[in-house]
Amino acid sequence: MKIAFIGDIIGRPGRAMLREHLSRLRQEHKLDFVIANYENASHGFGLTPKNAKELFNTGIDTMTGGNHTWDKKEIKGMFDSFELLRPHNYPAGVPGTGLKIYDVCGEQLAVLNLLGHYSMPMVENPFLCAKKEIEALHVRGIKNIFIDMHAEATSEKRALMMMFQGQVSAIIGTHTHVGTDDFQIAEATAYMSDIGLTGCRDNVIGMDKKVPIERFLTGLPGRFDVPTKCKKILQMAVMELEEGRCINAYKIKTFDDGREFITEAWKEI
């Protein structure tokens, strides 16, 4: 199977890039399943039902969350209506789930959403959560396992890779909005510390530059806003899986000015 992952869709500019390009990318790259992270999709914070419908209509199959999952109050009632996940290591009793299993090309694909510890809300240990769920998936015979690790610290994402390389198909990081140049395949597990945002590329992590700069200069808080006009980018990781093993992977960067770049993941020998 061939799956793709799009991280941190930032507001209207990010949604616009998906409307304009995802259908074409699905066809050109023969994608069987598309996962995306929704936590910044509605004006930069959370997700509304209207925007969820819009995103699924672009060709997304399921979406993961993060620390901004709960920013829109409507989200609590949306898990029964949409194919949405939230970080699985929130305490028991929280609405939704962070683990779902899908039938793709006659095989099963597990999608697991985790939230890191550093600079994040109070959640259960993501490493113990991952260990428990991965072991249970293996007992069930499920080999294709994709993890969205939503974390501030690169060390947490990398540690997860060191723990589970060879046991899962892919671990891709989200949250920082800045893409990293470390896409690799090691022991048949694809890994990238952060896929990077889909949205405005000429501001500060997809937000208007004025408030972040003012905060750095003065220390005073301010509300981040998604620009109405900006230069845009869509960033997507594509992974080809065979019996749970990632045999090929590459990253696509699509710009709103017509440029498109593909970078192959390196394979550890």
Radius of gyration from C-alpha coordinates of the chain: 17
- Through-space distance between the first and last CA atoms of the chain, rounded to whole angstroms: 23
Residues in the chain: 269
What residues have CB less than 8 Å from 52, skipping those under 6 apart? 38, 41, 63, 78, 82, 84
DSSP letters, 138-176, are HHTT--EEEEEEE-S-HHHHHHHHHHHBTTBSEEEEESS
CA distance 237 to 249: 7
CA distance 29 to 44: 28
Active site residue 117: no
Which residues sit opposite 189 in a β-bridge? 186
Options 21, 29, 43, 68, the catalytic residue: 68
The residues carrying an active-site annotation are 68
